[in-house]
Structure 1
């Protein structure tokens, strides 16, 4: 019972301290650009828990989920194929480094012209940015497969899809999930940025509209919502990661215990 309470204290300790400092700092403040905590909470529920939740929040989350999922699956598949071939890695590395260096937001006008100014463009922008951490980490994970395990598979005649499934992917899983962890916040960032261009709905569009109308509490409430979404996504991913890598964290715990 003590460990969950300690973990909860660590998780909530700093946010509570920040809120207390924020409350104390705005206690006698009159600036309209920094809302007080109580005012922000009231504005948050009034703004987002109504019609705007359906028209703005759900479409944004849908684009984020679709784009990030496609980026993860494509990154894993392409990274596995490339990681298995030394020649293919050498052939693709220059072009990958080029496209990875291109900031995805600058592709928004290009995608707008080629795809159209709809949800497909927003999903494409998310894929263009979120795929790289997964793809490159998958390549490194496949390359780092244990040589002894590889020799054992060769000795027992395990090859092809069976080797990829039972040796390569489990061995590369920590690398892949590390890439997924990096891809998730990138997907959220690009979700917002893509909605600031050629859009009439979504979280990014709403935050920009609030800023232009000087609806400062509403603007801050949108930023708060994005932070909560990022926190929720991180917590869900941590639970999934712990379940998928039980064997890996078990080995880590044994190493720490010894």
Structure 2
């Protein structure tokens, strides 16, 4: 109960301070909530309980987020598995990886704008460029450092390369792989907003840019709060899935293998 008190207390303090001092760029939370209701819930429903404005803002952003993250996950997992299992390839790619991960992803946006069609291709490329690195690096590191006991067991049972990869290496590296995927979800949300601030005509980033241009501060805060809620929800869902997967993997793993992994 005590842990739930700071949030309402902070909101009440914010409300009182904003009304007492007339803070232009920090409007009262009640004004932000009223503006959010007016933006996304006050009109006639166009899809389920969402208004046309909510569908125009949320649906494109969610689509870009899911598609961009899925592309980054697929490419990052495939590349990470290859680099983790092929030391020669990892040695050749190592300089490029260090350069690529050191470049701030938003710095690539002008390049994408110049070389790709403005719109979805640019936005997906921006999300992909920012999201792929934690997936790729965690996957390669996890696969590269699989405990020798697992590999020895696979050799004893004469598993082929494909079965060894699917049933031994990937499950053993799952904690690091899932950690990279979880981190990438938050990065995907950030890069989605970055891409929509410049190369979009719809979505939450576009709504945020329009609100800033018209000095509609409550609308700006409404988008910011919605993005924060979306980030917390996405992280919570992925954390739940991660715990379930790891728990089921631990339950399915023989006890002797667990001890060998922990030593």
Scaled by the length of structure 2, what TM-score is found?
A: 0.87
1:227 equivalent in structure 2: 228
Alignment of 1:238 onto 2:239: yes
Structure 1 residue 214, shift from structure 2 partner: 0.9
Structure 1 residue 156, shift from structure 2 partner: 1.6
Structure 1 residue 102, shift from structure 2 partner: 1.2
Aligned residues: 245
Which of 11, 18, 21 is residue 26 of structure 1 equivalent to? 18
| RMSD over aligned Cα atoms | 2.1
Query: Where do 1:1-258 residues align within 5 Å?
Result: 10=3, 12-49=4-41, 50-247=51-248
Runs of 4+ in 1 over 6 A off after TM superposition: 248-251
Contact 1:242 1:249 in 2 (8 A): no
Segment drifting more, 33-42 vs 159-168: 33-42
Segment drifting more, 156-165 vs 129-138: 156-165
Gaps of 5+ in 2: 42-50
Please give the per-residue CA displacement for 1:197-221, whole angstroms capped at 9, x wherever unaligned. Answer: 1322111111111111111111111
Whole-angstrom distance in 2 between the partners of 1:14 and 1:232: 20
Whole-angstrom distance in 1 between the partners of 2:199 and 2:238: 31
Contact 2:171 2:249 in 1 (8 A): no
Segment drifting more, 43-52 vs 177-186: 43-52
Structure 1 residue 13, shift from structure 2 partner: 4.7
Task: Note closer, same or farther for the CA distance 1:135–1:14 as it changes in structure 2 (3 Å cut).
Answer: farther
SS at match of 1:200: coil
Task: Note closer, same or farther for the CA distance 1:183–1:213 as it changes in structure 2 (3 Å cut).
Answer: same
Task: Note closer, same or farther for the CA distance 1:157–1:108 as it changes in structure 2 (3 Å cut).
Answer: same
Scaled by the length of structure 1, what TM-score is found?
A: 0.88
Structure 1 residue 249, shift from structure 2 partner: 7.2
Structure 1 residue 247, shift from structure 2 partner: 4.3
Whole-angstrom distance in 2 between the partners of 1:93 and 1:13: 49
Please give the per-residue CA displacement for 1:228-257, whole angstroms capped at 9, x wherever unaligned. Answer: 110110111111111111146779xx99xx
Whole-angstrom distance in 1 between the partners of 2:66 and 2:101: 21
Structure 1 residue 113, shift from structure 2 partner: 2.1
Please give the per-residue CA displacement for 1:124-160, whole angstroms capped at 9, x wherever unaligned. Answer: 1101110000000000100111101111111221131
Gaps of 5+ in 1: 1-5
Whole-angstrom distance in 2 between the partners of 1:29 and 1:39: 15
Structure 1 residue 27, shift from structure 2 partner: 4.3
Whole-angstrom distance in 1 between the partners of 2:80 and 2:242: 19
Whole-angstrom distance in 1 between the partners of 2:115 and 2:153: 49
Structure 1 residue 187, shift from structure 2 partner: 0.7
